[in-house]
Chain A
Amino acid sequence: QVQLVQSGAEVKKPGSSVRVSCKASGGTFNSYIVTWVRQAPGQGFEWLGRIIPPHGTTNYSQKFQGRVTITADESMSTAYMELNSLRSEDTAMYYCARDSGTYVFHYWGQGTQVTVSS
């Protein structure tokens, strides 16, 4: 059974950066798309971007282009999302999700709360 385990909650200052990890167990890590989305308190979902195997091609939302970087370490079965120049509006729960060939967003991490506050 595929499980995605994300890194713990973060509290960051405005202007700083945050890196969230998403470690996969079960299944072949480098065969499926990993997507990052976020959910602000009481709000819906926002797509940040994705990383596509096998060459690690990335697509990013235009809104976050230049501020977000998604990478993957196949040896560690871990994907990473780094968001720079943080502002208060970036306070949200950040989720990773993995496809399964047929299904998009089939498996989800537990979420990582990122709080941006001075």
Chain B
Amino acid sequence: QAGLTQPPSVSKGLRQTATLTCTGNSNNVGNQGAAWLQQHLGHPPKLLSYKNYNRPSGISERFSASRSGNTASLTITGLQPEDEADYYCSAWDSSLSAWVFGGGTKLTVL
């Protein structure tokens, strides 16, 4: 089962803003920050952000990540049809000495 908690689904309209959340604890998100991954059906994931580092090359500035306490958030502005995908968060858990993942959020762009 997932170690981090994400809402199963979020639906937003075209050109709107979506904020996806990922809740962990002080051993993972609260301590280490989170990585965010985007996965389109049938494809491997793509890294969107990691901790508070700049976005990897090629990732749109419409994607931004933040953290408050034990909750990480991914904000996607100006939603486009191609943003419809599954989004996963992940964090290093210092108590488990393992990477843990959220169960994923399916983003639907209406």
Contacts and interface: CB of A to CB of B under 8 A. Distances in A.
A44 B44 contact: no
Interface string B35-55: 101000000111100100100
Contacts of A46: 101
A101 to B, nearest CB: 11
A76 B94 CA distance: 32
Contacts of A102: 50, 53
B101 A44 contact: yes
A108 B96 CA distance: 24
B53 A105 contact: no
Nearest to B102: A44
Contacts of A45: 45, 88, 90, 101
Interface string A46-64: 1100100000000101100
Interface in B5-47: 35, 37, 44-47
B97 interface: yes
A106 interface: yes
B56 A103 contact: yes
- Range for the number of chain A residues in contact with chain B: 20 to 34
A47 B98 contact: yes
Contacts of B96: 62
A9 to B, nearest CB: 14
Contacts of A35: 99
* Residue of B50, B53, B100 with most chain A CB atoms under a 10 A cut-off: B50
Contacts of A44: 2, 88, 101-104
A111 B101 contact: no
Contacts of B99: 35, 37, 47, 50, 104
Nearest to B104: A44
Interface string B62-80: 0000000000000000000
A110 interface: yes
9 closest residue pairs by CB, A with B: A108-B44, A47-B99, A45-B101, A44-B103, A44-B104, A103-B50, A105-B47, A61-B98, A106-B47
9 contacts: A37-B99, A44-B104, A45-B88, A50-B99, A103-B56, A104-B35, A104-B90, A105-B47, A109-B44
